[in-house]
Amino acid sequence: MLIDFIMKKFNFYTKIFMLISIIFILSCTQDEIRDDSVTDELEGIYLKNPQLPEDPNILVEILPHFDKNGSIDGYYYYDQPFQIFSLEKIEAIDSDLNKISATITSLVGDRDNFGYGGTAGPPCKYYNLSTPEDNVGNFDRLIRGSVDLEKTWVHDFRADPLFCSAFVAEEVTIGIREYFNDDVQTITIEIDGEEMNFVQNGISRCQYPIIQTFKFVGESASFANDGLINISVKENGEEVALDYSLVTVKGHCDNIVITGCDTGVPNQTLLDGTKMEDAILALEVGVENHGDFVKAVTELINQWKKDNLISGEEKELIMDCAGDSSIGK
């Protein structure tokens, strides 16, 4: 009797245990079991995605990699699923995102007359020599009385929050809207010292404005690295009225970044062609602990300061990031 009673109890609790196990298994997805301890960190990275350029060649998404137990053990880029970064490398991935291109725009102009060379009044009702609309520009001066008149203005985007002292312009597009011309077009434009001609692309008669576009990519865009673009337009006796000039600059801040910590120090190119950031991160190889890495960085940047490559303040900024890094820990 006692044995039968014990066996019934055993079978009862066995069934209860199996039922709980089945419920637990069903509550977990077969695709993945998330580690809540890093979910917030992952979501924080996703927040950076809207800032990324719409370019299929740019790495735009970081995803978690799960081990056989369902825990997150690393991260990978969406289009490089077989290159897994360990959790310790997540800061380095984040630093890559910090160098993704930013876009800065600068608008100069209004619907006032600029460079209209005729003796009669401007043919478009918009050109009334009033004050600039919304205080956005300088096209509020009627130029006449000469065959070679010039108007100069500056696009200054140094105050833009996306600009920095180590800014590298990758692409510059300058669009000038031409509201009127007399279809002769010997108009010239000078952009930071380089002179070009307006394209002869038809007559603009106010209701059919023409966009004159000038584009610079790569090294040819470097004139915008200082945050200033000087533009001069010569009418050369033409009858022409311009509406506005819109500049779009794509680029990034090339600062020294150590495992996610942006030093704010320009990432200069050394005499051997190596970038400063690469020289610092190369010190990670072979170090046994964090202290050895910091010591190696100290020796390196002391030499840079001695060579007048960096200032004392910049040296301290680099040391702060090296000390806070996870390298060797």
- The answer on 211 and 69 residing in a single domain is no
The residue type of 29 is T
Written as six digits, the tokens of 325 are 């890094």
Percentage above 90 pLDDT, the chain: 13
DSSP for residue 70: S
**18: in domain:** yes
**329: in domain:** no
Kindly state the average pLDDT of the residues 159-186. 79
35 vs 39, 92, 111, 168, CA distance in Å? 7, 21, 58, 39
Highest mean pLDDT among 59-63, 212-216, 324-328: 212-216
Among 213, 229, 253, the domain boundary falls at: 253
d(CA 171, CA 70): 43
Helix axes 90-98, 39-46, angle to 10 degrees: 20
- Residue 210, pLDDT > 90, answer no
DSSP for residue 111: S
- Residue 284, pLDDT > 60, answer yes
- The answer on 107 and 75 residing in a single domain is no
Among 226, 253, 280, the domain boundary falls at: 253
- The answer on 43 and 29 residing in a single domain is yes
Confidence at residue 299, expressed as pLDDT on a 0 to 100 scale: 93
pTM, whole model, 2 decimals?
A: 0.52
Among 67, 98, 129, the domain boundary falls at: 98
- Residue 95, pLDDT > 60, answer no
Kindly state the average pLDDT of the residues 129-137. 40
Confidence at residue 270, expressed as pLDDT on a 0 to 100 scale: 86
- The answer on 14 and 92 residing in a single domain is yes
**52: in domain:** yes
Kindly state the average pLDDT of the residues 281-292. 85
Confidence at residue 303, expressed as pLDDT on a 0 to 100 scale: 93
Helix and strand numbers, DSSP H then E, in the chain: 6, 13
**200: in domain:** yes
- Residue 91, pLDDT > 80, answer no
Q: What angle do CA 87, 92, 97 make, to 5 degrees?
A: 115
d(CA 297, CA 305): 12
SS3 category, 271: coil
* Distance separating the N- and C-terminal Cα atoms of the chain: 64
- The answer on 265 and 242 residing in a single domain is no
d(CA 260, CA 276): 15
Q: Which domain CATH number covers 171?
A: 2.60.120
Confidence at residue 78, expressed as pLDDT on a 0 to 100 scale: 58
- The answer on 261 and 234 residing in a single domain is no
Confidence at residue 302, expressed as pLDDT on a 0 to 100 scale: 94
- The answer on 147 and 22 residing in a single domain is no
Q: Which of 140, 105, 104, 111 is nearest to 126 (CA)?
A: 111
- The answer on 262 and 219 residing in a single domain is no
- Residue 113, pLDDT > 50, answer no
- Residue 138, pLDDT > 50, answer no
- The answer on 309 and 269 residing in a single domain is yes
Please write the tens of the pLDDT for every residue from 244-277: 778 889 888 888 888 878 888 888 888 888 889 9
- State the CB neighbour count (10 A cutoff) for residue 52: 14
d(CA 60, CA 78): 7
d(CA 13, CA 11): 6
Please write the tens of the pLDDT for every residue from 36-80: 332 223 222 222 232 333 333 333 455 566 666 656 566 666 556
- The answer on 177 and 39 residing in a single domain is no
**141: in domain:** yes
**210: in domain:** yes
**37: in domain:** yes
82 φ/ψ angles, rounded to the nearest 5 degrees: -95, 0
At 234, the pLDDT band (50, 70, 90 cuts) reads confident
Full domain range(s) for residue 167? 102-253
At 153, the pLDDT band (50, 70, 90 cuts) reads confident
Confidence at residue 112, expressed as pLDDT on a 0 to 100 scale: 44
- The answer on 90 and 151 residing in a single domain is no
d(CA 291, CA 273): 28
205 vs 2, 151, 231, 314, CA distance in Å? 107, 21, 24, 55
**137: in domain:** yes
- Residue 288, pLDDT > 50, answer yes
d(CA 328, CA 288): 6
- The answer on 60 and 178 residing in a single domain is no
Number of domains the chain is built from: 3
